[in-house]
Amino acid sequence: MKVFLLNHTPQPEQTVAAAARLCYTDAGAEELREKMTPSKVESLLKKLLDMGHDSPLEHAVFTMAVEGVSRSLSHQMVRHRIASYSQKSQRYVDERHFTYIVPPSIEKDSRAYTIFEEKMEDIRKAYAVLSEIVPQEDARYILPNACETKYVVTMNARSLRHFFRIRMCRRAQWEIRRLAEMMYQEVNKVAPRLWYGAGPACEVEGYCPEGSYSCGKITSKVQEE
């Protein structure tokens, strides 16, 4: 799995801070940004995040390329709707030699791994035959969720914080949890102040919102009540 930060809003922290400050003053955005010292930006962003005043975060946007993940993961990813996606097309890209993602539980079990590999090879052969009989766009229907894919995703900081809260949770499926951790590392390099308090609820809020589905690491609000 690979994650690359392709682009982002210039000076994302200052942009968010200026947008937030604009709500409470007659000064213009350009003037506000010029007066925003690093210490003022840090103080204001922390205050915003502590208050839950999240809308200014939508002005900072991050674009990342994701590679070496499964179609199973990408199907989960698009559930995060406030984002833009561009994904490798199985309709136009020949998948006769597709690579695939092997779950750790299968990889560490020799019997399961043998079965998995055999079925992937069977699918490759069937896809190749079907591609000679029907259009490639129809042959792709036989391809597995394990099939490797790649895509570009653009999300604003508010959506990313929600994504980290849900997908860095220990109950998140292993692949998307790893992706969330890698995406967090990428954006944290360029705008660390925007991710104050970001992460799974149990670590940053001190409780588990999963109720009876909790992993047991920390007491949930439902259990407390």
Q: Note the pLDDT tens digit of each residue in 52-64.
A: 889 999 999 999 9
Paired tokens of 168:
């860095």
Q: Please, which residues bridge with residue 156 across strands?
A: 61
Instruction: Choose, from 21, 140, 158, 167, the residue flagged as catalytic.
Output: 167
Of 19-23, 188-192, 217-221, highest mean pLDDT: 188-192
Which uninterrupted H or E stretch holds 7?
Answer: strand 2-8
Q: How many angstroms separate the CA atoms of 101 and 103, rounded? A: 6
Q: Nearest 5°: phi and psi at 6?
A: -80, -40
For the chain, percent helix, then strand, then coil, each to nearest 5? 55, 15, 30
> Does the active-site annotation cover 167?
yes
Q: How many angstroms separate the CA atoms of 142 and 161, rounded? A: 35
Residues 65-100: pLDDT tens digits?
Answer: 999 999 999 999 999 989 999 999 999 999 999 999
**pLDDT at site 220:** 54
Domain 2-67+75-83+149-200: CATH architecture, name and number where available: 2-Layer Sandwich (3.30)
Q: Please, which residues bridge with residue 61 across strands?
A: 156
Domain boundary assignment for the chain: 2-67+75-83+149-200, 94-146
Residues near 129 by beta carbon (within 8 Å), at least 6 away in sequence? none
